[in-house]
């Protein structure tokens, strides 16, 4: 009885599935899926050799500082970094006094309450503060940015596939639409107010190219030339740090743990062999 | 319990004797996982995965309880509290990555454990109850893992919760009220997050309780073994401790190495980047996918594209998805072959390997976008999945001519050397 019922259920489900497959296959052959412009022209990020790649990877503090400078002078006008506090910048190699100065001189003030009147007011941030938001709310952000909300960057490199490479590619991937695209997909012309970027999922990005000219940010002495590509790499490295500040702790702990486990496992194997020595199995 | 020749507990320490006379807990542990449990001597490495599953459960309990001390189960703060754990709690990044990847590894070892049972016929008499309780654990694990994935309140948390509770919405007439009742609202929100957290904390303890029943039921007939031949005498078994504690110790080491490699060097490899974007009910992700361990079932859910008279395709998909797991509950009565182990079942073995490939294909399709050709591939694969268990297995067990079985476990181990067998 069980087997009869099971066979009937099996014939029903398998039959429905094969029927669905059949009609799907007919539809697929009679009307092959139309290629989309995203499918044809979207590109995967270019691969960069980062200092933090691999099991022994670590952050290049000079690069993180340069990246922070790019964030501060370019990105921070629109993009928040709400999960990161000024005090965290000590990881980049700044000392206590430098962090204090960075916080104090930050262009955006921290929200506060006037202690006398209770009215909302602002003050200079202190190291314990997170980076203040550039816009009071999403409505203000949309109003100032052609209806698009600039996303928070704290976790950007972890919230995209291949994030560090993606941010670098995106920042350097602006350009005119390829002629071939306009020939094949005349309807896909980038609308006014958007910007073509071959690394962006739907190819048209609300953000204007933020890094446009060499020397847009002035790097200190002894640093590489601030080309657009260099600045993009540096800020991508910085945003990798903001997303994964404990990366170095994680990798160094991992080396120690795996080493310990290898030794322990060899010992466990030897004791297993010793205990079983008298038993064939 | 177990075999008459199993070693008896004799307390050495007077304190243990005092305890044992009043509450035989030491005796209970000794008989469960100590020298008092006689186990076939020929278990291979596939038998390590039961202990590894138990270890994974304990790992999840310990990391989870500590994470709960720092987590805020409120839609307003959940996402940020997880980031607080990652950034500001001492060792928080380790705890959270250990827990998130621990879930994946729990499923890896449990899937291997299940497929071991399928190959070696561990679901057959007299171990049906072990199998059934194992399936209950599996269902509880799925519920727990699903609710755990909602807690970080990222985009995939939110939309995953919406899609999965939406499955209940496919039930005719009462579906939508049930969905609203489950969520405590029309969409996932604070009410849903809070109850998911509460249940996510509760269910692992229910799992632990069913694990005890699972092991209890196992200890009635004793462990099966790769030959599937019953234990005939003392020469066929060894005491669990120290023989299998030592072997499991080695297996645990190998497991931990692989786990540590992922945990420390690719902790986000098995996750989805969208879950690092805070939940936003106004923006639907391009592809909503569950965690990888649900992909085979997700593929079955999406494989139904045609209505059957008045039954909509969506409902068919939901029914098939649940059926794909529930059918395992009747497996002991579908496979009627008296031979347990796949080693001696040449025809069964071919279909078993086909099933392995089939489930892998289903998994791949479940993680892929719901577009052609993945839907067509998953339709074929899902059709085979049902046919395998419900049609092919019963027929195979009827028509197959199994290979000759060894006379005993000891003979299988030592070969046909009468002198050696007699000497043991």
Chain segment B202-245, per-residue pLDDT in tens: 999 999 999 999 999 999 999 999 999 999 999 999 999 999 99
- Substitution target in A4, A5, A7, A14 with the highest count of B β-carbons within 10 Å is A14
Among residues B20, B236, B274, B291, the one annotated as catalytic is B291
The pair of structure tokens assigned to B394 is 């019963």
Round to whole Å and give the CA distance between B64 and B69. 9
- How many Å apart are CA A165 and CA A50, to the nearest integer? 9
pLDDT bracket for residue A31 (50, 70, 90): confident
Look-up of token digits 């999840």: B60
Contacts of A159 in chain B (CB under 8 A): 273-274, 276-277
Query: Is it the case that residue B418 has pLDDT exceeding 90?
Result: no
The superfamily (CATH) of domain B37-423 is: Cytochrome Bc1 Complex; Chain C (1.20.810.10)
Q: Do B383 and A9 touch (CB under 8 A)?
A: no
B274 has catalytic annotation: no
| B 263-302 → A contacts, CB under 8 A | 263-265, 267-268, 273-274, 276-277, 286
- Nearest CB to A272; choose among B250, B308, B384: B250
* A116 contact B CB<8A: no
> Closest chain A residue to B319 measured between Cα atoms?
A13
Q: Where in chain B is CATH 1.20.810.10?
A: 37-423
Choose the weakest-confidence range: A126-140, B24-38, B305-319.
Answer: B305-319
Q: What is the pLDDT of residue A278?
A: 87
Q: Tell whether A147 is within 8 A of chain B (Cβ).
A: no
Distance between CA atoms of residues A174 and A191, nearest Å: 15
Tokens, residue B399: 């028509």
The C-alpha atoms of residue A72 and residue B134 are separated, in whole angstroms, by 56
State residue B423's pLDDT score: 57
Query: Residues of chain A with pLDDT > 70: what percent?
Result: 100
Examine the pLDDT at B424 and tell me if it is beyond 70: no
Whether the CA torsion A177, A180, A185, A186 is positive or negative: it is positive
pLDDT in tens, B359-400: 999 999 999 988 888 999 999 999 999 999 999 999 999 999
| Section B82-94 average pLDDT | 97
pLDDT at B419 over 90: no
- pLDDT above 90 coverage of chain B, percent: 90
3-class secondary-structure state, position B361: helix
Structure tokens at B4: 């008459």
Query: Quick check: is B224 catalytic?
Result: no
Chain B interface includes A111 (CB < 8 A): no
- pLDDT tens digits, residue range A60-87? 999 999 999 999 999 999 999 999 999 9
Q: Tell me the shortest Cα–Cα distance from A18 to chain B, in angstroms.
A: 6
User: What are the φ and ψ backbone dihedral angles of B299, each rounded to 5 degrees?
Assistant: -65, -40
Q: What is the mean pLDDT of residues A151-167?
A: 97
ipTM: 0.94
Which carries the bigger pLDDT value, residue B370 or residue B162?
A: B162
Q: How many CA atoms lie within 13 A of B299 on its CB side?
A: 29
Choose the closest CB to B372 out of A7, A14, A28: A28
Verify whether the Cβ–Cβ distance A268 to B246 is below 8 Å.
yes
Q: What is the pLDDT of residue A280?
A: 78
B250 neighbourhood in chain A, CB within 8 Å: 265, 268-269, 271-272
Give the span between the Cα atoms of B267 and B247, in whole angstroms: 28
Report pLDDT for B310.
Answer: 85
- The predicted pLDDT at position B307 comes to 86
Q: Write down the mean pLDDT value for chain A.
A: 95
**Which residue of chain A is at minimal alpha-carbon distance from B95?**
A250
Establish whether B219 is a catalytic residue: yes
Tens of pLDDT, residue by residue over B164-187, are: 999 998 888 899 999 999 999 999
Per-residue model confidence (pLDDT) at position B196: 97
For chain B, give the longest Cα–Cα distance.
77
- The model's confidence at residue B335, banded by pLDDT at 50, 70 and 90, is very high
B 311-350: CB under 8 A from A:
316, 320, 323, 327, 330, 333-334, 336
Concerning whether B248 is annotated as a catalytic residue, the answer is yes
Active site residue B247: yes
Look at B273 and A21 and tell me if their CB atoms are within 8 Å. no
Strand partners, A174: A197
pLDDT tens digits, B109-123: 999 999 999 999 999
Across B83-97, average pLDDT: 97
pLDDT at B369: 87
Beta strands in B110-245 (DSSP E): 237-239
pLDDT of B343-364, one tens digit each?
A: 999 999 999 999 999 999 999 9
Residue B417: the pLDDT is 60
Beta bridge partners of A229: none
Test A10 with B391 for CB contact under 8 angstroms: yes
For residue B1, pLDDT beyond 60? no
From CA A104, how far away is CA A86, in angstroms rounded?
Answer: 10
Phi and psi angles of residue A47, each rounded to the nearest 5 degrees, phi first: -90, 125
């Amino acid at each position: 009885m069980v087997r009869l019922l099971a066979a009937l259920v099996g014939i029903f489900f398998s039959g429905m599935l094969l029927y669905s497959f059949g009609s799907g296959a007919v539809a697929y052959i009679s009307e092959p899926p139309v290629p989309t412009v995203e499918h044809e022209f979207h590109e995967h990020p270019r691969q960069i050799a980062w200092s933090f790649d691999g099991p022994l990877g670590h952050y290049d503090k000079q690069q993180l500082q340069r990246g922070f400078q790019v964030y501060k002078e370019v990105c921070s006008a629109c993009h928040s970094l709400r999960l990161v506090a000024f005090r965290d910048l000590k990881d980049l190699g700044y000392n206590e006094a430098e962090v204090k100065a960075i916080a104090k001189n930050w262009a955006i003030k921290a929200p506060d309450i006037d202690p006398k009147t209770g009215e909302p007011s602002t003050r200079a941030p202190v190291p314990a503060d997170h980076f203040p938001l550039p816009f009071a709310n999403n409505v203000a952000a949309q109003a100032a940015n052609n209806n698009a909300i600039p996303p928070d960057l704290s976790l950007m490199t972890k919230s995209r596939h291949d994030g560090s490479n993606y941010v670098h590619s995106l920042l350097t991937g602006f350009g005119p639409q390829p002629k071939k695209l306009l020939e094949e997909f005349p309807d896909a012309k980038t609308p006014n107010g958007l910007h073509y970027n071959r690394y962006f999922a739907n190819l048209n990005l609300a953000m204007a190219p933020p890094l446009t000219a060499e020397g847009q940010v002035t790097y200190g002495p002894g640093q590489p030339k601030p080309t657009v590509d260099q600045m993009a790499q540096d800020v991508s490295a910085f945003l990798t740090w903001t997303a994964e500040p404990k990366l170095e702790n994680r990798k160094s702990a991992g080396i120690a743990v795996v080493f310990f486990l290898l030794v322990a496992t060899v010992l466990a194997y030897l004791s297993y062999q010793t205990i079983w020595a008298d038993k064939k199995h | 319990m177990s075999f008459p020749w199993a070693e008896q507990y004799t307390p050495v320490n007077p304190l243990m004797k005092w305890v044992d006379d009043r509450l035989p807990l030491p005796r209970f542990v000794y008989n469960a996982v100590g020298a008092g449990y006689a186990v076939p001597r020929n278990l291979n490495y596939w038998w390590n995965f039961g202990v590894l599953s138990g270890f994974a459960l304990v790992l999840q309990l310990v990391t989870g309880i500590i994470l709960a001390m720092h987590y805020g189960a409120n839609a307003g703060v959940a996402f940020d509290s997880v980031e607080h754990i990652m950034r500001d709690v001492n060792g928080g990044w380790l705890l959270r990555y250990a827990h998130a990847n621990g879930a994946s590894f729990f499923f890896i070892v449990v899937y291997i454990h299940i497929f071991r049972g399928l190959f070696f016929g561990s679901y057959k008499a007299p171990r049906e109850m072990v199998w059934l309780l194992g399936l209950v654990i599996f269902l509880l694990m799925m519920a727990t893992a699903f609710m755990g994935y909602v807690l970080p309140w990222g985009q995939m948390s939110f939309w995953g919760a919406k899609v999965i509770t939406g499955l209940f919405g496919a039930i005719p007439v009462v579906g939508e009220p049930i969905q609203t009742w489950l969520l405590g609202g029309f969409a996932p929100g604070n009410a849903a997050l809070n109850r998911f957290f509460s249940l996510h904390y509760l269910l692992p303890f229910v799992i632990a309780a069913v694990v005890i029943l699972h092991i209890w039921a196992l200890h009635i007939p004793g462990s099966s073994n790769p030959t599937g031949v019953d234990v005939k005498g003392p020469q066929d078994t060894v005491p669990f401790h120290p023989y299998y504690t030592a072997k499991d110790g080695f297996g645990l080491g190998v497991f931990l190495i692989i786990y540590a490699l992922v945990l420390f060097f690719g902790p986000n490899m098995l996750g989805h980047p969208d879950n690092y974007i805070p939940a936003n009910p106004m923006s639907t992700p391009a592809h909503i996918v569950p965690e990888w361990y649900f992909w085979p079932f997700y593929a079955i859910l999406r494989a139904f594209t045609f209505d059957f008279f008045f039954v909509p395709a969506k409902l068919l998909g939901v029914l098939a998805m649940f059926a794909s797991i529930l059918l395992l509950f009747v497996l002991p009565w579908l496979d009627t072959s008296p031979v347990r182990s796949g080693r001696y079942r040449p025809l069964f073995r071919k279909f078993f390997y086909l099933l392995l490939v089939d489930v892998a294909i289903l998994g791949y399709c479940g993680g892929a976008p719901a577009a052609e050709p993945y839907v067509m591939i998953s339709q074929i694969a899902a059709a085979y999945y049902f046919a395998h268990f419900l049609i092919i297995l019963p027929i195979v067990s009827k028509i197959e001519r199994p290979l000759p079985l060894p006379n005993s476990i000891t003979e299988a181990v030592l070969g046909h050397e009468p002198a050696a067998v007699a000497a043991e």
